[in-house]
Amino acid sequence: MSEGEIKNWFPYELSKPVKQVSPIVLAYIGDAIYEVAVRQYLLSLPNLRPNHLHRSATGLVSAKAQCAILQYLEPMLTEEEREVARQGRNAKSGTIPKNANVLEYRHATAFECLIGHLYYTGKQDRIAELVHSGIEFMKAGKL
């Protein structure tokens, strides 16, 4: 872990080494971490009406948006990050997507898995970098 990076936000460590954690479990925490990042971004903007916040957040955290972000970020990922995303994409979740096709849903799971992996390996700066790049990409095309 490099200087200036923190391990976790709270003092609850994983029950086993991160490499032994299921990609679906990493996606579970990655989803939450990404949601907090998006909400913090939205609160930095001038329009703080709850309905606007909700609609804007949905546009960034949907499976379709996460799929697009992952595809955009792919060339920027390290080999290790690509492998983590691949494992997340190939993991069987047992859930049927409601508002996305199966491919979008799998890529969204891959993105969330990557964020979860980065979180549990203490790479907060890398999460910030990737999330910022993804939000900027979405702003340029959708927001």
Number of domains comprising the chain: 1
Q: Give the DSSP letter of residue 11.
A: S
Quick check: helix, strand or coil at residue 82? helix
pLDDT digits (tens, 9 = 90+) for 67-81: 999 999 999 999 999
Q: Dihedral sign, CA of 56, 135, 10, 17?
A: positive
Torsion of CA 131, 134, 138, 140, to 10 degrees: 110
- 142 pLDDT band (50/70/90 cuts)? low
> CA–CA separation, 89 vs 105, rounded Å?
9
> What span, in angstroms and rounded, lies between the C-alpha atoms of 24 and 28?
6
Return the pLDDT at 3: 46
Q: Identify whether 31 is a catalytic site residue.
A: yes
Instruction: Please report whether residue 4 resides in a domain.
Output: no
Give the CATH number for residue 59: 1.10.1520.10
Highest mean pLDDT among 3-7, 56-60, 90-94, 131-135 belongs to 131-135
Residue 52 in any domain: the answer is yes
Structure tokens at 88: 């997340």
For residue 16, give both structure tokens: 């086993």
Kindly state the tokens that stand for 92. 């069987």
What domain range includes position 135? Answer: 18-141
The one catalytic residue among 31, 81, 104, 112? 31
CB atoms near residue 32 (< 10 Å): 14
